[in-house]
Structure 1
Amino acid sequence: MPASRRPRLLAAATLLLLPLTACADPTGAREGGPRTAPPAVRDDRGPAAHGAPATPVAPPAAPVPARIPGLGPETRAAIPRDSRQAVVVRGDAPDSDTSTFTLYERHPTEGWQQVSDPWPAHNGVKGWTGHHVQDDLRSPIGVFGLTDAGGLLPDPGTKLPYDQGDGFTATGTGTMGEPLAGSFDYVVAINYNRRPGTTPLDWTRPLGEHRGGGIWIHVDHDGPTQGCVSLTKPHMRELLQWLDPAHRPVIVMGDVTSLGR
């Protein structure tokens, strides 16, 4: 029995027994004589115990998982639900060849968390496009998988399939006249108009040759690219060691205005 109810029941029992005990009072007190008053009963059960409605207490709101800043609803919707790694390349402007490159990881409760400082990067010499075609010198806008890597140099420790060979030898000069040697020491294929699960050197073009291809993340050569994204060699090694196919990594790329849609 709850302790708060015992005084009430004991008091009631006293009232019922008074007429019986008064006739045989061992102290000789007469009926109607002075008696000790029963103790006051305090009820701490709250208003609901007396029929008053209790004020509902709202449960604490669940935290809203964090989103990648700067991405609009269309861009966010294009990221697969099971992707837990995302590279975000933010072009400075639609026609700019410079950008930043930032790594994010998605956690089950916290959502997307930034795990690197923004790295400087180059993109296509003419900027960005939502409809890339061969030789337009622009980088394609969109969300693309990252499944395959390779390079002229040995595997630096990536979990991605890595194809090493002389086919990654870069020759010639870039759009600013800078030498391209070493640009393909490390590469990650961007799954734009290519067949995932193959070496970056596979030239299969599912959308047709006219839509271009061979869009990679590769080592920067101190100038803009013909459509790829480029990073310093140390950052390329760090990227390769971070990417994990079990986390379904993607690259989210475009100018800041396009990414905000």
Structure 2
Amino acid sequence: MSTPTHGAVRRPVAVLAASLVLVLVLVGCGGGAVATSDQRPGTTTVNGGAGASPEPAPRVALSVAPQQLPGLGSKTWAKVPPKTRQALVVTGRGKNSSTSTAVLYERTASGWQAGTTWPAHNALRGWTGHHRAGDLRSPIGVYALTDAGGLRPDPGTSLPYDQSGDFRIGGTGFEGEPLAGSFDYVIAINYNRRAGTTPLDWTRPLGAGRGGGVWLHVDHDGPTQACVSLRKGHMKELLRALDPDSDPVVVMGYAAALRR
């Protein structure tokens, strides 16, 4: 860059001006180091003149959506259909625990985006990879979510919804808690059932001995027999969020099993 002289200018003034320009270029607007175009990518030159060692540029934390559902090992992940764009991941605290958490993930162009983490319950005795009727364990696996229903009117779901008085339930749970209202809203988990039918359909393709009637339903503040339960407000949110065109599934089991 040249500086107009506007007549006779003494040489020391010109030298001083050039020195000031050099200092400004080296310091930069914020008073820090300035990277030049001939440096290696990812390095900056610190003030100190010739011979200064390049230092790595500070890392910028980026939020990148994962391409695979978090917490799943290769075997579990392989069971998630490639076309699935919604997955409710229910993670149990332990093999014999009845306490879980649930997160609805949505697959986007940039990867899987997680929703809010919801508290949940599963079966009294925890989890099993080979569920049988009456074992009081929830089945581990990946299951489609295609059908819903309940005692209460449809809260606005896109899933087929069967409102029926047959979802009425009474009595008490394992911890003495009332069960009334547990089936106000339910979503059938496609374990040992016929997809495309009401959750009340008792067809058992694997046989009655392998259990059935495994649902997502309203939490009654205690363990279930085999189902997964969420608070009523969260069940309504889930029902409204699920989209049949996204081929939704539930991925369920205790954490160590899901990591396989």
TMscore range, shorter length? 0.7 to 0.9
Partner Cα distance (2:67, 2:142) in 1: 19
Match of 1:103 in 2: 104
Match of 1:162 in 2: 161
Partner Cα distance (2:78, 2:112) in 1: 14
Aligned AA for 1:134? A
Shift of 1:64: 9.1
Match of 1:246 in 2: 245
Show structure 1 runs of 5+ residues with no match.
1-62
Does the C-alpha gap of structure 1 residues 202 and 107 become closer, same or farther in structure 2, counting only changes over 3 Å?
Answer: same
Partner Cα distance (2:253, 2:131) in 1: 12
Match of 1:174 in 2: 173
Partner Cα distance (1:111, 1:134) in 2: 38
1:138 equivalenced with 2:137 (yes/no): yes
Partner Cα distance (2:255, 2:107) in 1: 21
Shift of 1:176: 1.2
1:2-25 CA-to-partner distances (Å, cap 9, x unmatched) read xxxxxxxxxxxxxxxxxxxxxxxx
Residue aligned with 1:254, SS? strand
Question: Higher Cα Rg: structure 1 or 2?
Answer: 1
Residue aligned with 2:119, SS? strand
1:189-223 CA-to-partner distances (Å, cap 9, x unmatched) read 00000000000000000000000000000000010
Partner Cα distance (1:65, 1:186) in 2: 31
Show structure 2 runs of 5+ residues with no match.
1-63
Q: Is contact 1:66–1:113 with CA below 8 Å preserved after alignment?
A: no
Match of 1:56 in 2: none
Shift of 1:256: 0.1
Partner Cα distance (1:64, 1:213) in 2: 35
Partner Cα distance (1:64, 1:118) in 2: 16
Partner Cα distance (1:142, 1:195) in 2: 17
1:5-57 CA-to-partner distances (Å, cap 9, x unmatched) read xxxxxxxxxxxxxxxxxxxxxxxxxxxxxxxxxxxxxxxxxxxxxxxxxxxxx
Match of 1:80 in 2: 81
User: How much is the aligned-residue C-alpha RMSD, in angstroms?
Assistant: 1.1
Partner Cα distance (1:214, 1:65) in 2: 33
Partner Cα distance (1:102, 1:64) in 2: 15
Does the C-alpha gap of structure 1 residues 84 and 179 become closer, same or farther in structure 2, counting only changes over 3 Å?
Answer: same
Aligned AA for 1:106? R
- The count of residues paired between Structure 1 and Structure 2 equals 197
Q: Is contact 1:97–1:126 with CA below 8 Å preserved after alignment?
A: yes
Shift of 1:172: 1.4
Q: Is contact 1:130–1:140 with CA below 8 Å preserved after alignment?
A: yes
1:231 equivalenced with 2:230 (yes/no): yes
Partner Cα distance (1:217, 1:259) in 2: 19
Match of 1:220 in 2: 219
Shift of 1:73: 0.3
Aligned AA for 1:84? R
Residue aligned with 2:204, SS? coil
TM-score w.r.t. the length of structure 2 is: 0.74
Residue aligned with 1:117, SS? strand
Alignment of 1:25-40 (within 5 A): none
TM-score w.r.t. the length of structure 1 is: 0.74
Deviates more, 1:99-108 or 1:188-197: 99-108
Match of 1:112 in 2: 112
Identity of aligned residues (%): 65
Partner Cα distance (2:257, 2:117) in 1: 19
Match of 1:190 in 2: 189
Shift of 1:66: 2.3
Q: Is contact 1:102–1:118 with CA below 8 Å preserved after alignment?
A: yes
Aligned AA for 1:119? W
Q: Is contact 2:85–2:107 with CA below 8 Å preserved after alignment?
A: yes
Q: Is contact 2:140–2:253 with CA below 8 Å preserved after alignment?
A: yes
Aligned AA for 1:133? R
Aligned AA for 2:84? S
Partner Cα distance (2:211, 2:176) in 1: 23
Partner Cα distance (1:227, 1:205) in 2: 15
Residue aligned with 2:187, SS? strand
Shift of 1:65: 5.4
Residue aligned with 1:74, SS? helix
Q: Is contact 1:218–1:236 with CA below 8 Å preserved after alignment?
A: yes
Q: Is contact 2:65–2:113 with CA below 8 Å preserved after alignment?
A: no
